[in-house]
Structure 1
Amino acid sequence: MSALKWQGWLVGLMGLAALLVFAPLGLYVWASGGGAGAPAPRVAAPEVRVAECRIDPVSRRVVAVVEARGEGSYVVTVEFRDRELPGPNTRTSQSLIRIPGLTPDPAARAEALGPVWPPAATPWCGIASTTPSPTATTADAATP
């Protein structure tokens, strides 16, 4: 009978030791936000607009001046068409530009070059999409 009593105490002490080891670990994981399953903080989408859409007189290419405000770095897809509302099966030209390190004020400006444009047509420039850009790399940091 005393052997069973001794085994009961041993199981109890092992349970207490496990609680003393794993309870602080569990509290640490809980306090730190739950690990990899926790959602990333959401950043407000930037305000991006086409400030100017013109045809370069020398090269006859469409140039869109894009203005952006917000926080972070983004890749913006600029679309070039001959009218604002495209018809069915209309193909459009697109250009990608990267806008690094946005701040709320002042607005960052970048130029997107489009295709060579016919002389008689008036271009339309618009923002097709805006996606977050990965953080700056060492190549970006080396660029003046």
Structure 2
Amino acid sequence: MAVSALKWQGWLVALVCVAGMMVFAPLGLYVWAGGAPQPRPGSAAREDVRITDCRIDPASRRVVASVEAVNRFPGTGAYVVTVEFREKETRAPGDRWAQALVKIPGVAPGAAEHGDSLGPVWPPDTVPWCGVAAAEFTEAAPVQ
């Protein structure tokens, strides 16, 4: 009788495992496939953005960088651009300069959108340099 009870117990464990896979495998696939939109790699997104103007606001003495994003990919999405503000274009090792983020939402394929990034108060008699430190593109979720 002990052998037969162990045989049925083995079948019961196998059936529970199969039932669990039937429940959790589709759930896992659903979560995996329906996750949040993935950002496009930084190097590709960085090629889509550029600084069009770098100026000092006369009223506040803060640096303002105008950023243009041109979406070269098929989906509409948003760019998040990290703008760096320096005194010169070349960067010495170990130098740390001010950075600010600008979000440019709703950039349609092939379209150009603009945004402004506000930097720090700039010292008098120095000319600022503004550059793109990083950029990330996230495709908009499809409307259902």
TM-score relative to the length of structure 2: 0.60
Matched, 1:56 2:57: yes
Q: Structure 2 stretches of 5 or more lacking a match? A: 1-28
Q: 1:74 maps to which residue?
A: 79
Which of 1 and 2 has greater Rg?
Answer: 1
Cα distance in 2 for residues equivalent to 1:96 and 1:115: 12
Asked if the contact 2:39–2:138 (Cα under 8 Å) also holds between the matched residues in 1, the reply is no
Cα distance in 1 for residues equivalent to 2:94 and 2:40: 33
Aligned-pair identity (%): 50
Q: CA deviation at 1:51?
A: 0.6
Q: 1:124 maps to which residue?
A: 129
Q: Structure 1 stretches of 5 or more lacking a match? A: 1-32, 137-144
* Number of equivalences: 127
Larger relative contact order (Cα-Cα within 8 Å, sequence gap ≥ 6)? 2
TM-score relative to the length of structure 1: 0.60
Alignment of 1:1-144 (within 5 A): 36=32, 46=45, 47-68=48-69, 69=71, 71-133=76-138
CA shift in 2, pair 1:122/1:105, >3 Å: same
Q: CA deviation at 1:106?
A: 3.2
CA shift in 2, pair 1:120/1:133, >3 Å: same
Residue 63 of structure 1 aligns to which amino acid in structure 2?
V
Cα distance in 1 for residues equivalent to 2:96 and 2:37: 37
Cα distance in 2 for residues equivalent to 1:65 and 1:41: 27
- Report the aligned-residue RMSD: 3.8
Cα distance in 2 for residues equivalent to 1:86 and 1:114: 18
